[in-house]
Amino acid sequence: MNIYISHSRGFDFQNELYDPIKSSELVDRHTFIFPHDTEEGFNTKELFQNKGCDLVIVEVSYPATGVGIELGWADLLNIPIVCIHKDGVQPSDSLHAVSKRFMMYTSKENMIEDITSLLRNYE
């Protein structure tokens, strides 16, 4: 399964999001697309249109306009979207227009456990 990881650039996504996923067993079973892993631009719309993505996992603890645009494209193309957020953060109500799946996590380890459980439903 190809999984796109969407997020704001307004936090330490390498440490808090990318590294925990890359260090987990999830990468042995799935292909994760980390859009900000390279310096060069990344064309998310093209990826979505060419069916290069089966699922979007979006970290929504930090609002970002670009994330909203990506989620609009994914929703339009019927790509399932799962929103994850930190404990104590109230995600934007507008996210309910594109996703019915919300997962709250309390730590990096808990986030990985929740994503692992979630992905079992898609295998």
pLDDT tens-digit profile of 22-66? 999 999 999 999 998 877 777 999 999 999 999 999 999 999 999
Q: Is residue 27 part of a domain?
A: yes
Other Cβ atoms within 10 Å of 12 Cβ, number: 9
Distance of CA 41 to the CA centre of its chain: 18
Does residue 86 contact residue 61 with C-beta atoms inside 8 Å? yes
How many structural domains are present in the chain?
1
Does residue 84 contact residue 103 with C-beta atoms inside 8 Å? yes
Q: Is residue 69 part of a domain?
A: yes
Full-prediction pTM beyond 0.85? Answer: yes
Q: What is the CATH number of the domain that holds 26?
A: 3.40.50
Print the domain residue range for 64. Answer: 7-33+54-120
Category of 107 on φ-ψ map: left (φ > 0), alpha (ψ -120 to 50) or beta: beta
Distance of CA 67 to the CA centre of its chain: 10
Q: Is residue 89 part of a domain?
A: yes
